[in-house]
Structure 1
Amino acid sequence: MLLLILGLILFLGMHSARLFAADKRASFIAAKGPLAWKGMYALVSIVGFVLIIYGYGQARMSPTWLWISPVWTRHLAALLTIPAFILIVATYIPGSCIKARVGHPMLLGVKFWALAHLIANGSLADLLLFGGFLAWATALFVVSRKRDRAAGVSYGKGKPVMDAVVVVVGLVAWAAFAFYLHGAWIGVKPMGV
């Protein structure tokens, strides 16, 4: 459990630098340059991510159950991950109305993903992992939207045709993950196949 917690601190902490340490981040970039920041950001994030994966895997071996979720919550979780995938895809495909409206679709997608997994999983490790990501994404989304409004940031109008592309790619990615990759990578087959 300690490795999971340490991984979450490193990964989410690094991804929260603009939220909690904007001045220190700016000072570091001014002193050492943007490439040094990106290198450190990537290194700390990768180490944190590896610790999360390893720590969560270890915690799953002997779980501490806080609640047992009913079977139907798995189906709800599968449905909630559909908008998560669509929003995450909207982050990377420019020109969609979804990105223009949401502003930070990755963070909203992480919120859907984390909430879906919290609903369907009830161990202490699940609460730490998915609850941590949900709290982080919620806080960063609120702060980022406020920062955008204060700075007058506009994401344009977007084009409905790009929304169609985002939705199709998101659904294909969701299906690939739900029906195959989740079982192959995580060891849990959410769709039971």
Structure 2
Amino acid sequence: MTFLIIGLVIFLGVHSVRIFADDWRRQQITRMGENKWKIGYSLMSAVGLALIVWGYGVARETPVVLWNPPTGMRHLAALLTLVAFILLAATYVPRNQIKARFHHPMVLGVKAWALAHLLANGTVADVLLFGAFLAWAVMSFIAARRRDRAAATTYPAGAMSGTLIAVVVGVLAWVAFAFWLHGPLIGVRPFGVAM
């Protein structure tokens, strides 16, 4: 559990600099240059993510169960992760109505993903991992919207074609991950079937 906690502190800490210390962040980018900042940011993120993956895997070997979620939570989790994949796709597909409306679909996708996994899992490691990501996503979204208002940021109007592409890409990615990749990569088959 220690490595999971250290990984969360590093990974979410690095990703929280803009939330809690944006002025300091800008000063560091000015002082060291954008490329060096990005390299350091990426290395720290990678270390944090590796510790999260390793620590979570170790914690799952001897799980401490807090509650056993009802079976229906798995269905709700599946729906929420589908929404998360569509939001993630909308982050990258240009000129879609989802991004035009919500401005920060990736952070909303993290919220949906974390909430889904909190609802469907009941161990201490799950609460730490997904609870931390959910708390971070809530704070990140609030901070991003505040920055947008302060800078009077406007987002281009979305087109139906971009929205349809985002939805189709999100659904296809969700199907691939839920039915084929989640089992081999995470060790859990969300639908309990091998395909």
Q: What TM-score do the two structures reach when normalised by structure 1? A: 0.98
Q: CA deviation at 1:23?
A: 2.1
Hey, what's the Cα distance between the residues in 1 that align with 2:180 and 2:21? 39
Q: Percent identity?
A: 57
Structure 2 equivalent of residue 79 of structure 1: 79
Q: CA deviation at 1:111?
A: 0.2
Q: CA deviation at 1:94?
A: 1.1
Structure 1 equivalent of residue 112 of structure 2: 112
* Matched residue type, 2:86: I
Gaps of 5+ in 2: none
* Matched residue type, 1:123: T
1:20 aligns with 2:37: no
Hey, what's the Cα distance between the residues in 1 that align with 2:66 and 2:20? 30
* Matched residue type, 1:176: A
Query: RMSD in angstroms over aligned alpha carbons?
Result: 0.7
SS at match of 1:13: helix
Hey, what's the Cα distance between the residues in 2 that align with 1:22 and 1:75? 39
Q: CA deviation at 1:7?
A: 0.4
Trace 1:174-189 onto structure 2 (pairs within 5 A).
Answer: 174-189=174-189
Hey, what's the Cα distance between the residues in 2 that align with 1:25 and 1:151? 17
Hey, what's the Cα distance between the residues in 2 that align with 1:144 and 1:123? 31
Q: CA deviation at 1:67?
A: 1.0
Q: CA deviation at 1:24?
A: 1.9
SS at match of 1:16: helix
Deviations 1:21-69 (A, max 9, x none): 2122112111110001000000000000000000000000001111111
* Matched residue type, 2:76: L
Deviations 1:111-136 (A, max 9, x none): 00000000000001000000000000
* Matched residue type, 1:125: A
Gaps of 5+ in 1: none
Structure 1 equivalent of residue 29 of structure 2: 29
Q: What TM-score do the two structures reach when normalised by structure 2? A: 0.97
1:3 aligns with 2:40: no
Q: CA deviation at 1:81?
A: 0.6
Hey, what's the Cα distance between the residues in 2 that align with 1:2 and 1:21? 26
